[in-house]
Amino acid sequence: MALKYRRILLKLSGEALMGNHEFGLDPYFINELADDIREVYELGVEIAIVVGGGNIFRGMNGSQIGLDKATADYMGMLATVMNALALQDILESKGMPTRVMSAIEMKQIAEPYIRRKAIRHLEKGRIVIFGAGTGNPFFTTDTAGALRATEIKAQVFLKATKVNGIYDKDPVKHKDAKLIKEISFDEAIRKNIKVMDQTAFTLCKENNLPIIVFSIKERGNLKKIVQGENIGSIVK
């Protein structure tokens, strides 16, 4: 089957990496996730990944306990690098070459983020994992994902969540919530759709970068998406 997308940006939240745990990393889930990524990698897709850090530390929670917001956000960025290193190790154990690139310089464990170098890694068949968000406080890792996707000229932004798309209200709290299969950027921004922050939506809109929101819990979804199947919800 022909590929619809040959270069993708996959956004993984820290909460997704928890799997069924309440904190940290779920080894079983991450191994299944790595198998899904390998399926796509073996098709020849160029894969970049942005990871969150909410399974370890959330800047929002830090500011609630009295930490300065910028300090709390920097702590959250460090948590994303921990997740990036864990994901790198598991992907490489399954035979996939990877590079971790950090927006905050830490030479001993990750390469500094350089746009042209990231693109070169992708062209050479390496999976690039972006850590430390944008390197700046007050920006979410969703915005970091939109920014990196735009910079590396990804064809699609894949937002992995625990639910199978965008709903008109929280499907966990409301049984009558309806799945929205397709929505425009303008409508998503106007309705303040909570699946991503407004800055990320706006950045994708301005660069005509489609967003697909899908369930990472369902095995094989990644492969189906890159092959053009109608999975999850699309913002375009």
pLDDT tens digits, 26-57? 999 999 999 999 999 999 999 999 999 999 98
Nearest C-alpha neighbor of 235 from the set 164, 132, 156, 117: 156
Range list of β-strands (E), the chain: 7-12, 46-51, 98-102, 111-112, 127-131, 156-161, 166-167, 179-180, 182-183, 211-215, 233-235
In the chain, what are the domain boundaries?
Answer: 7-235
Distance from C-alpha of 174 to C-alpha of 169, rounded to nearest angstrom: 7
Q: How confident is the model at residue 146 (pLDDT cuts 50, 70, 90)?
A: very high
Q: What is the pTM of this model?
A: 0.95
d(CA 125, CA 64): 42
Q: pLDDT tens digits for 113-122?
A: 999 999 999 9
Confidence of residue 1 (pLDDT cuts 50, 70, 90): low
Tell me which of 3.60.21.10, 3.90.1150.10, 3.50.50.60, 3.40.1160.10 is the CATH number of domain 7-235: 3.40.1160.10
Q: How confident is the model at residue 138 (pLDDT cuts 50, 70, 90)?
A: very high
Q: What is the pLDDT of residue 170?
A: 83
Buried b (16+ CB within 10 A) or exposed e, 50-67: bbbbbbbbbbeebeeeee
